[in-house]
Amino acid sequence: MIASLKGKVQSFLDEALILEVNQVGYELYCSQSSLSQFEGMEEVFCHVYTHVREDAIQLFGFSSLQEKKLFLSLIKVSGIGPKVALGILSATPVERILEFIDQGDVGALSKLPKIGKKKAEQIVLALKDKLKFVEEESLVSKSRPSDEIKSALIHLGFKAQEVEKVVSQLNPGLTLQEGVRQGLAALTQI
């Protein structure tokens, strides 16, 4: 099974992208949220779910591990396949879907694409109180990049106090590599 792919974006389709990895183009079905995050990027890293059926093998790509885990939880619910789960993820951010499930908000869930009241009730029944790992990882991942940037800069020999000051001024959305690069530039000017 393919768990992740990293490669160059060849093209975007309505609900998918073509990712070139070692001269092979993979079609990855993605939520609108993931597609918008990948837009404008030349190279992307995707978490992948490989769906195997009698008549097809489909790859589903996700910009975050939280989105993939929610997708995997949704397809375990009776009557929800990969395309419906992807439609749910396209309609609303992961955090909102988690709120709807956690609060048992059948009304909000039933407004999502291809989800009626009955399926919304099934989702709540099947997943309520079982998605804490997604929320916890979401909280951890929000703080992790800056912590990793701090750690890397300290290991390069800079003082913790200086590193703390510089990293607090960086854009929180930076990747580890970009954060270290910008942190180094700022610290060498001090």
142 and 124 in a common domain:
no
Packing angle between helix 94-102 and helix 65-75, nearest 10 degrees?
A: 50
Span 53-109, pLDDT tens digits: 899 899 999 999 999 999 999 999 998 999 999 999 999 999 999 999 999 999 999
Of 80, 79, 58, 55, the C-alpha closest to 70 is 80
42 and 95 in a common domain:
no
Q: What is the mean pLDDT of residues 136-144?
A: 45
Domain endpoint, select from 33, 62, 91: 62
Where does residue 120 rank: exposed (0-12), middle (13-18), buried (19+ CB within 10 A)?
Answer: buried
53 and 14 in a common domain:
yes
Percent with pLDDT over 90 in the chain: 52
176 and 156 in a common domain:
yes
Domain endpoint, select from 83, 113, 131: 131
Residue 182 φ then ψ, to 5° = -70, -35
pLDDT for the residue numbered 153: 79
177 and 123 in a common domain:
no
Residue 61: CA count within 13 A, CB half-sphere: 27
58 and 77 in a common domain:
no
pLDDT for the residue numbered 190: 67
Assign residue 125 the CATH number of its domain: 1.10.150.20
Structural domain count, the chain:
3
Q: What is the pTM of this model?
A: 0.67
Q: In which domain, by residue range, is 56 found?
A: 4-62
Q: How far apart are CA 108 and CA 101, in angstroms?
A: 9
